[in-house]
Structure 1
Amino acid sequence: MSKKKFDFYPGLPARNRPFTVEDVVCGVDEAGRGPLAGPVYAAAVILDPRRPIEGLRDSKKLSEARRDELAPLIREQALAWAVAECSHEEIDSINILQATMLAMRRAVEALHTAPTVALIDGNRCPQLAAAIRAHAVVEGDDKVHAISAASILAKTARDAALVALHAAYPEYAFDRHKGYGTALHLARLREHGPCPVHRRSFAPVRALLPQPVRATVAAAQADLFQGAAA
């Protein structure tokens, strides 16, 4: 009996695949665009066709326990993987979209095997080296297994970082909400005010800053948007 062929691109029809069998394909995804605190993470993964990993899908559709099972398998069995981040300071300086693109670029550049094609989850691509063809795949984390793997690595790395931040700032319960704007987080934010790792350019945080600081942050954000539109 012949061995069943494993499809690494279950949601990407063959006629729509922007690569050939000769290409080295990496998947890229991020975690942490929406939270009010901490860095944004990105990961890049090149899977090994000889060592398929069962159960890869969008990390948001997996339980924490399942993500924690899959992450070490990905690191062990992938041909190459890398995780990178952009800090909360960088997010406030260049805005969350540009910080996400930068984290993705850093992850791709950190791969010890250079890809020829990068499949990016979403509808935008970071600027990569000229030798790498970047293609955006909407909802790619459930269509391309390499993007799913990147989603899992980025998510587990960021969650671990927020648990570490909880040790430094336990009053905010970062270990429970991972920095997202939950009712618990917003209540703690109102009670204690922003801490050093909160993203001051995000409205719920900015609203709690002293007025002079709030005005400075708002002016900096306006300059950013004007510069992007120019």
Structure 2
Amino acid sequence: MISRAPSLFDLHFGDAPDLALERRHAANFDGLMAGVDEAGRGPWAGPVVTAAVILDYDNVPKGLNDSKKLTEAKREALFDQIMASAHVGIASASAGTIDRRNIRAATLGAMVRAVKALNVSPRMVLVDGRDVPPGLSQDGQSLIKGDGRCLCIAAASIVAKVLRDRMMVRADNHFPGYGFAIHKGYGVPKHQEALSALAPCGLHRYSFKPVRVAAGDDT
């Protein structure tokens, strides 16, 4: 099935999560409504990580919100609760895949794999942002700023963010000197300084201009 956002399935959300409204939407799909989000689209290094989450709307962790609005401690606590109470699928795309396919295509492909990794198949997929990934077997709807408006997308944003942060902390042991454990691969001044001093490593995205320039290719 070609993924789309057909008018028959348009789901309407407000500017903040609403459990009662979302529960009613999910009931239209026998509760099998998945939220999908990513972490790591913008960094210069590391993978992009995606997650798909089907919540149990009778057992929703309190405090779900856009992962960027939560402290690290709160994200970690909610991550454990989500993993214990919801169906979760996870997928990622490496820096090499990002370089070969471009960040948008790599992200959308990983989102499809995250949905396929769920141990139950959703009947509806809600995706943060503007794009519904091509290749879904379900109907999909995109939701701009969905991680702050929809609980299942918020849960996916938390799972993706926590897992990616953990991956970058581990990567710091294999690629010391870049500060991955601190900035997680984002383009902060300390990362730029490390790139200039050390040159890019195998975790860097060479298709991103700051990395190309540091590697000696300023085209």
Q: TM-score scaled by structure 1?
A: 0.83
Equivalence map 1:122-133=2 (5 Å): 122-130=129-137, 132-133=138-139
Q: CA RMSD in A?
A: 2.1
Secondary structure at 1:36 match in 2: coil
Q: Would you say the 8 A contact 2:172–2:181 is kept in 1?
A: yes
**Residue number in structure 2 paired with 1:100:** 107
Matched, 1:109 2:116: yes
Provide closer, same or farther for how the CA distance between residues 11 and 135 of structure 1 changes in structure 2, counting only shifts above 3 A: farther
**Residue number in structure 1 paired with 2:76:** 68
In structure 2, distance between residues paired with 1:12 and 1:89:
42
Q: 2:52 aligns with which of 24, 44, 55?
A: 44
Q: Would you say the 8 A contact 1:19–1:117 is kept in 2?
A: no
In structure 2, distance between residues paired with 1:11 and 1:24:
15
Q: 2:140 aligns with which of 113, 125, 134?
A: 134
Q: In percent, how many aligned pairs have the same letter?
A: 41
Q: 1:168 aligns with which of 152, 169, 174?
A: 174
In structure 2, distance between residues paired with 1:11 and 1:96:
32
Matched, 1:83 2:73: no
Equivalence map 1:186-225=2 (5 Å): 186-211=192-217
In structure 2, distance between residues paired with 1:56 and 1:72:
12
In structure 2, distance between residues paired with 1:50 and 1:117:
19
In structure 1, distance between residues paired with 2:95 and 2:134:
21
Q: How many residue pairs end up in the alignment?
A: 203
Provide closer, same or farther for how the CA distance between residues 138 and 19 of structure 1 changes in structure 2, counting only shifts above 3 A: farther
Secondary structure at 2:52 match in 1: strand
Q: Would you say the 8 A contact 1:12–1:143 is kept in 2?
A: no
**Residue number in structure 1 paired with 2:128:** 121
Q: Would you say the 8 A contact 1:128–1:134 is kept in 2?
A: no
Structure 2: gaps of 5 or more residues:
1-15
Deviations 1:94-127 (A, max 9, x none): 0000011011111001000000100000011112
In structure 1, distance between residues paired with 2:26 and 2:141:
8
Q: Would you say the 8 A contact 2:29–2:124 is kept in 1?
A: no
Deviations 1:119-163 (A, max 9, x none): 000011112333x11100001001110000000000000000000
How many angstroms does 1:13 deviate by? Answer: 6.5
Q: Would you say the 8 A contact 1:12–1:144 is kept in 2?
A: no
How many angstroms does 1:209 deviate by? Answer: 1.6
Q: 1:157 aligns with which of 156, 163, 167?
A: 163
In structure 2, distance between residues paired with 1:31 and 1:87:
12
Structure 1: gaps of 5 or more residues:
1-7, 216-230
Larger Rg: 1
Deviations 1:160-196 (A, max 9, x none): 0000110011100100000000011111111111011
**Residue number in structure 2 paired with 1:34:** 42
In structure 2, distance between residues paired with 1:59 and 1:210:
35
